[in-house]
Chains A and B, each alone.
Chain A
Amino acid sequence: MIGLKSTLNVIDNSGALLVECVNVLKNKVNNGHGSVGDEIVCVVKRARPISAATQASVNAVKVRKGDVRRAVIVRTRKQVRRPDGTMVRFDDNAAVLLNNKREMLGTRIGGIVSSDLRLKGWSKIVSIAPRVA
């Protein structure tokens, strides 16, 4: 149940560490709250320091504090129901940053993600994730 002002941990290697939700996209139900697999617009609150070398290189897409980016929610503390009634709950809220075309900004994911992502069409993220629950 991610809404305005909710903070999420970022678990990819895009450089951001903590992100604050500003808007949940395409969600006319649930009072505008986002869950696993929903795309959100967020502000980067904390980011890894960027060395000069990476700044110079063109390949690396590193985000800075204060950037407004899109992200997809991959873990929520609020339990999510699977079709057979099984519920999953994680101990924190986490997201993976995206660009405007729904592609990942980072290249690796460092943590467990929810397998409900597959149902929502984010199979790319599920395939890269080290562990899926």
Chain B
Amino acid sequence: MASATRHIFKRLFSNTARSATPEGAAYPFSKTALTPPAPKAAETEVERLRQGKRLMEFVHKTLSPPEKQALLQKYFSRRSKDVLQPGSIVTVLQDQAPTQFTGVLIAIRRRGQATSFRLRNILQRTGVEMQFFANSPSLKEIKVVRPPPKGRMRRAKLFYLRDAPDKMSALAGGRK
């Protein structure tokens, strides 16, 4: 009985280090602790990506150039101080036709890299709505001409303006 317990004690509190201590670092606080073998040589980021690890995160970070990322951050991040507000008058400068489009911002669709916004204007007695994608390479600049009246509108999506030309012209006329 005593020898059995002594055996157990011996095994639990043995002084000699056991098999398979590794190439890795020795555990500094005990000579008998087992440390598993160190992992294989670190994979490079490219190898990890090829295996599909953290691939979407990488895509979101590198899909558009840093100036575009800054634009997205400046105008669409909710915490930014220049964030676009629905109801403001915005001008968009593009590479393709129409090179310049101004309109009331009626909707912002936040979808990460696929974020887009809609501008509505009345040109030649016809309502025109355009949906611009923030990350598009042909989108050069976004300028806020006027902020929304009274600081904010009471809706996030101003689709009611399609049926209310008087409210549309009030926004365009610019009551403060």
Q: What residues make up the interface of A, taking CB atoms closer than 8 Å to B? A: 75, 79, 82, 84-92, 94, 110-112, 115, 118, 130-133
Could you list some 26 contacts between A and B, CB below 8 A?
A75-B126, A79-B129, A79-B131, A84-B96, A84-B133, A84-B136, A84-B138, A84-B139, A86-B94, A86-B131, A86-B133, A86-B138, A88-B128, A88-B129, A89-B129, A91-B126, A91-B127, A91-B162, A110-B124, A111-B126, A115-B97, A115-B98, A118-B97, A131-B123, A131-B124, A133-B98
- Kindly list chain B residues whose C-beta atoms are within 8 Å of the C-beta of A86: 94, 96, 130-133, 136, 138
- Kindly list chain A residues whose C-beta atoms are within 8 Å of the C-beta of B127: 90-91
- Kindly list chain A residues whose C-beta atoms are within 8 Å of the C-beta of B129: 79, 88-90
Using C-beta atoms within 8 Å of the partner chain, give the interface range for chain B: 20 to 34
Is B75's beta carbon under 8 Å from chain A? Answer: no
* A35 CA to B55 CA, complexed, in Å: 38
Whether A112 pairs with B97 at a CB distance below 8 angstroms is no
Question: Would you call the interface of chain A mostly helix, strand, loop, or mixed?
Answer: loop
- Kindly list chain A residues whose C-beta atoms are within 8 Å of the C-beta of B133: 84-86
- Kindly list chain A residues whose C-beta atoms are within 8 Å of the C-beta of B131: 79, 86-89
Name the CB-closest residue of A to B135.
A85
Whether B136 pairs with A85 at a CB distance below 8 angstroms is yes
Whether A87 pairs with B130 at a CB distance below 8 angstroms is yes
* A92 CA to B126 CA, complexed, in Å: 8
Most chain B CB within 10 A, of A86, A89, A112, is at A86
Whether B137 pairs with A88 at a CB distance below 8 angstroms is no
